[in-house]
Chain A
């Protein structure tokens, strides 16, 4: 463990009845103090089971668990999110509250929806309305439409207003466009119907879990609240600013019951505002603590990066922040902000990779100390970087929280095999899809031979695969007999399957994987990534079956058919929650900038790509919801103006970019190209802000 400062020690060793509010910007050692506090509590004989460590998301709790776990002893720490706590309690105390909470089947167990299964049920409600013109003026893909209605329900639960008031809050803020009033009316009616459907079928999406917990279980005198208060006598809450207001409300009520509390607040953060995080609401808790302590010294940045971060914040916020104590000099910027101009995007990527190569191979920098960041990480950008870095023998890990499972070639292969095996579902793969399926499934098969094979064995009209021996000897020879033998095994397996009773889709995939695709000679054999992706798909199908299976029994579609339909609509398997723990210590991390921020692990070197992009500050296009208007901060009935939008953009960019700088120890390389990936010219506000800083130092613009 690293040595603690006297300020950190004071926090860690505060008395066992202290309530401390600790704030400071990123990098000032607050979490380290929190971990030290946890260890101190355990050393003082407090039982781990009596300590509630509350974090906004999984990644931020891992350092607490690991720090305790790596020590010898008998203690293990569990940590929770507010959503996790709500779900756990609702599950446990369900028999007590199901009826009073309005669920129609209190003697049946609760069904907890994942995001994708919530989207599925929302799709069931919204999709039939399309033909009646509902949402016809909204030009976004339907799956994003579903997720935004769900987001509104989550905001209502997290902010603490009735879900029936969504439209009433959104409508006045968007008066310019009269057509929007109808859209918000439709949003409200879909949200209401969804909630009614959930109550009728014991389904609990995130919003309902939170509401049921807070309204029916977190009440004075309930068995659940008594249990929680008895169970947890000490708490450490990290990243308080990233939590929703109702979590702050609950903590305000709970705080007097804790013997000790350490509440950690990251100033100038609130990176999850788009999910309902409310830093202003979090500050209310400081008044309920005995002490309010601020950490100001960075353990991460040197003086040059500190000057740069202050300057950047000042420039981006157009003077609304404190001016920097000192503007960075040019020689300092040259050290901490290397850059090179490029016209074309690929040339910029080559430069980035070359700089990383020099750092790793020439200067001995650990790849784990390098992060390549972009505001948005497309598949092609990710692929280009991984390929280039792998060619330099540099190990890479990528993390995209919303990476699309359905776009992975392995998954496409499995889905197409499922279609072939269930022709009655009405999906016939194209010949091109069969070509790519064969490349994945049959080992050692290149594109040319896969095309040749598909062309001769696959009938697009009937979706049938013909025997290898049915094609001419010349073609057999070109494809090779070895490939032919594997192809036949796959075809025979499918034929045998089709001759028996249809299995559940997840069992079908599992059998296909185990009995054919992962066998020696086939494409998935010894391919650990294929194993992981297949496992993810099977888990997704299984959850879907468990949650939607009973309801689908009344439908004309089979479960597998419905699953494939939803995949094609982009509703399911579009978002896969990847594991945060897969990032390897000795790999260069490639991630979206926000993901890196929320990971909260500084590195020595960062590479910022697409500096000219507007994605560094522009709000995601969300016509059906609004993170600010639905927040507690927003005055009721006020209109959202262009000035608000610009202010929001500036604040977002300041939070993001300054947050990144504060998580950098040595240098930030700027990847500059005049044209972006798609060939369009880029001159966004981040580039202008950086130019402005350089102009203040002699000799410099980007």
Chain B
């Protein structure tokens, strides 16, 4: 099939593609709004996601140099304040170096854009590039699970492909890169993935093949996942005849669902186009 020329791949869309082709088709090709409950308990999950978004904003503001006392006041009390305190105590963003918060990079692979939005890119004085991703979900996944996630594959890959725009035109080499996940609920835990030339070569070929394979599919080649448990946490379950109620949140795989959306949004601002 011919993919839309403006289709942009991200870790979210490629994760959907490998998890369930039908989900990818509905969500990213047809862009179908299907507002069922994603997971229960819905109110608690929403609170966590909103707090996660606020945490990401505080981290961004901190890197921009806003006074820490005012940010701490904004963090208030409770869960967000705990995360914020842990974040300050970690000292991760106080390391010397050039910092790029909330930075979007993109490259072209197999004729399509692939984008990554980094919570923080840190170019240390020793020419090392550290990717930080703040995680505010309930669970800290196993390292092996995380290693297979598209985010772990795509973020370093895009930095190699497009990092020159931040590096005075010089290439960023795989051996310079490290991918770090920092868990606000488990603040002593940072899970790191060093990167290498071999890993880069493998990852690039994998992503290229994944997109090329997608191009060969016909409309009817988007089957449902065989792992039915996933459907409990998918809004399209009613469309696919895969159940009624949303799953409750003790399934490790849904940890990602409870993160604030890292779906890349190109923030096309919208002024009210209405008549008064």
Contacts and interface: CB of A to CB of B under 8 A. Distances in A.
Q: Determine which residue in B35, B66, B162 has the highest number of CB atoms from chain A within 10 A of its CB, and name it.
A: B35
A115 B274 CA distance: 9
Interface of B: 5-6, 8, 30, 32-37, 42-43, 50, 54, 57, 60-61, 64-67, 70-71, 73-74, 76, 104-108, 111, 113, 115, 161-162, 164-165, 169, 235, 237-239, 241, 244-246, 266-276
A534 B34 CA distance: 8
Interface of A: 45, 47, 49, 56-59, 61-62, 65-66, 69-70, 72-76, 78-81, 83-85, 87-88, 91-96, 106-109, 114-115, 144, 147-148, 150-151, 206, 223, 227, 274-275, 401-402, 504, 507, 509-511, 513-516, 518-520, 525-526, 528, 531-532, 534-536, 538, 546, 575, 577, 595, 598, 620, 622, 625
A45 B43 CA distance: 47
Contacts of B57: 91-92
B70 A274 contact: no
Contacts of A625: 276
Contact of A535 (B34, B67, B104, B274): B34
A119 to B, nearest CB: 10
Given A78-B267, A531-B35, A514 B276 contact: no
A88 B266 CA distance: 13
A370 B272 CA distance: 26
14 contacts: A47-B165, A57-B271, A58-B268, A74-B164, A80-B269, A92-B64, A93-B66, A95-B74, A148-B276, A150-B276, A206-B271, A227-B64, A520-B238, A598-B273
Contact of A109 (B32, B74, B271): B74
A57 B108 contact: no
B74 A69 contact: no
B6 A69 contact: yes
A516 B266 CA distance: 34
B238 A528 contact: no
B4 to A, nearest CB: 10
A401 B73 CA distance: 40
A106 B161 CA distance: 42
Nearest to A65: B266
A78 B265 CA distance: 10
B275 A507 contact: no
Contacts of A94: 74
Contacts of B61: 92-93, 95
Contacts of A507: 37, 42-43
Given A62-B268, A144-B276, A402-B275, 6 more contacts: A58-B270, A76-B104, A78-B104, A88-B267, A516-B244, A577-B274
B169 to A, nearest CB: 8
A578 to B, nearest CB: 8
B35 A96 contact: no
A511 B8 contact: no
Contacts of A62: 268
Contacts of B164: 74
Q: Which 7 A-B pairs have the closest CB atoms?
A: A84-B269, A514-B36, A535-B33, A95-B70, A74-B162, A401-B273, A107-B73
B68 to A, nearest CB: 10
B273 A95 contact: no
Contact of B36 (A91, A144, A513): A513
Contacts of B54: 109
B100 to A, nearest CB: 10
B81 to A, nearest CB: 12
A62 B235 CA distance: 29
Contacts of B169: 45
A45 B164 CA distance: 11
Nearest to B69: A95
Contact of A56 (B36, B50, B113, B271): B271
A274 B275 contact: yes
A562 B59 CA distance: 36
A553 to B, nearest CB: 15
A74 B157 CA distance: 13
Contacts of B104: 76, 78
A274 B106 CA distance: 39
B70 A96 contact: yes
Contacts of B237: 514
Q: Determine which residue in B34, B57, B73, B246 has the highest number of CB atoms from chain A within 10 A of its CB, and name it.
A: B34
Given A514-B235, A531-B33, A84 B266 contact: no
A515 B235 CA distance: 10
Contacts of A115: 272, 274
B35 A538 contact: yes
B106 A75 contact: yes
A114 B272 CA distance: 8
Contacts of A513: 35-36
B103 to A, nearest CB: 8
A531 B245 CA distance: 17
B35 A535 contact: yes
A59 B8 CA distance: 19
Contact of A526 (B115, B239, B275): B239
A106 B235 CA distance: 38
A79 B245 contact: no
Nearest to B245: A515
A622 B275 CA distance: 11
A95 B67 contact: yes
Contacts of A510: 35-37, 42
Given A57-B273, A70-B5, A95 B71 contact: yes
A677 B64 CA distance: 58
A107 B76 CA distance: 8
Given A88-B267, A109-B74, A72 B35 contact: no
A618 B60 CA distance: 49
Given A69-B6, A514-B246, A538-B35, A622 B276 contact: yes
A516 B34 CA distance: 13
Nearest to B75: A107
Contacts of A109: 54, 74
Q: Determine which residue in A73, A114, A151 has the highest number of CB atoms from chain B within 10 A of its CB, and name it.
A: A73
B274 A575 contact: yes
B271 A58 contact: yes
A223 B65 contact: yes
